[in-house]
Amino acid sequence: MEYKANHLLREKHRPVLTWLLGPLGPILGNAHVYLTDKTFFAVGKIVDLLAGEVVHATGLAPYRNQGSEEMAVTLYREGPRMFGRERWNAFLESFNDLMRARTSVDSFFRVVDAMGLDGTRGRVDEIMGLLGRSRPHADSFRAGLLDNPKTIPALDPLIPAIVQAVVHWGEGGKLVSIVHDEHNGLTEERVAQLREMFGRPRPADLRRSPSGRLAGLRLVDSRLDPRVQVADFLAGVARKIASDELNDRGDAELVALLRPYVDSSSIWGDDRSWSLLGPPRSLRP
């Protein structure tokens, strides 16, 4: 029988869970968690791949992604309130379909056009205006996706997590070998792209110097590898604890126990929950 995180999350097993995460458990200092709020991740991609490209093309931002984080945070935090939950969700779903080549560029921009703010002026309106002018970039991105369907998916949070694992465990230029459970997204082509990524000179403006090197990535049956099972335990538990806190129904004890494991570069846009989930200031780089 293969145990999963939901077994540990049952109330009757809480003492085991608190021991596992706590200072007397076996994984503190030997495990690390990279959290991804999928909504914020998607909004970041909307800005990076579309609105940010418009800004760069105008020459107002000489470097790609300059100012993108601020735009993503603004859109993530103010979008649902300004557009209403229904239109906001339709917008995110349409972008997701576009990035996975399940819908046309026309369909996506019809959704964008329908999100007009009735003359409202503000930062969200400016961002949506940039997005409305990004049609050529969307056409180009989708054409590239159709020409090379084996490229790393733009909306797959697994890839940034693997990259950050190499960054964290490879600090100082160490070689990192990854063992991962079998996953359709980790094709030979994508693993080769990851190796190439870590073989290239790294940008100097990343939050943490990505000096690690990827020595290899091997896929295994999770039922036969205890290392993957422990990682699955922690990932599943962290996902539930973080999601509950994000939705304002967090468990203070579990959040505090998870905090020392959390990567400071996690993709997270909500200030309130991050103030509790993010690593203590003394642990941040």
Percent of the chain scoring above 70 in pLDDT: 84
In tens, the pLDDT along 229-281 reads 999 999 999 999 999 999 999 999 999 999 999 999 999 999 999 999 998 75
Q: What is the pTM of this model?
A: 0.84
User: What is the rounded distance in angstroms from the CA atom of residue 212 to the CA atom of residue 256?
Assistant: 29
pLDDT of 88 over the 50 cut: yes
Q: How confident is the model at residue 61 (pLDDT cuts 50, 70, 90)?
A: very low
pLDDT score of 284: 44
Q: How confident is the model at residue 188 (pLDDT cuts 50, 70, 90)?
A: confident
Supply 257's token pair: 């126990």
pLDDT score of 28: 95
In tens, the pLDDT along 21-43 reads 999 999 999 999 999 999 999 99
- The dihedral built from the CA positions of residue 105, 111, 116 and 121, taken in this order, carries a sign that is negative
**Average pLDDT in the 192-218 region?**
69
Mapped onto helix, strand or coil, the DSSP state of residue 176 is strand
